Amino acid sequence: MRILLVDDEVELTDPLYRVLTKEGYDVDVAYDGTTGVEMAAQGSYDLFILDWLMPGKSGLQLCQELRERGDTTPVLFLTAKDTLDDRVAGLDAGADDYIVKPFELRELLARVRASLRRSEPSQRDVKNDRLQVADLRLDRENQLAYRGDRKIELSEKETRLLELFLSHPGQLLTHTQIYQHLWSDSDRPSSNVLAALVRLLRRKIAKKGEPQLIQSVYGKGYRLQDSQES
């Protein structure tokens, strides 16, 4: 999942970039609000992490501009401004969460995970709750997939896993990202469970003669790729 981090404090952004990248996120960094606005407009992000006070434009202004143009991507503020009025102003500007500097990295990572879990898949068809890549489509509400005209019954976990893949076509999803989507930190299973789940899903969605859409990226994770593009 892609994160845009906008903060002018290099001593904070550099280590935070390394930590988020190590956790499996694809992170871009801007060091002022003006650049942040430009990058947000050009890229497709799953989360914005914004400092409040920055050169060019403040995080508050950046957040307001995002919301005014209809961008609903979650926004997490990092700031030393900790009064009640500041918190209210940030939330009223459209922020989804707020963490005060200095902070513990564990808390920040937990808030990042929570923000990403709350966000809606960017490519969902809200009207019929279906996602599709190539001839594979998902009816999430009824836990059914279709490969062409073939109907595929799915378990709850298989449905959520396929939804994640279809929401991010062509994107590498790391093991960490998939675990965070399917299980809470308290009930996370062994790596063998994820491998077995992917194997079962593959067997269901690709019968003999059908191209396999879920590709393994050795040592990193998986990618759902249209066979015509791979």
Residue 84, pLDDT above cutoff 60: yes
Mean pLDDT across the stretch 119-138? 63
Residue among 76, 142, 155, 133 at smallest CA distance from 109: 76
Residue 144, pLDDT above cutoff 50: yes
CATH number of the 2-118 domain: 3.40.50.2300
Domain spanning 130-224, CATH architecture: Orthogonal Bundle (1.10)
Residue range(s) in the chain whose domain bears CATH number 1.10.10.10: 130-224
Residue 51 C-alpha from the chain's centroid:
20
pLDDT band (50, 70, 90) for residue 123: very low
112: helix, strand or coil: helix
Q: Which residues contact 188 (CB under 8 A, 6 or more apart)?
A: 179
Confidence (pLDDT) at 122: 42
pLDDT band (50, 70, 90) for residue 119: low
Average pLDDT of every residue of the chain: 84
Mean pLDDT across the stretch 203-217? 91
Q: Is 121 left (phi over 0), alpha (psi -120 to 50) or beta?
A: beta
Residue range(s) in the chain whose domain bears CATH number 3.40.50.2300: 2-118
Residue 148, pLDDT above cutoff 80: yes
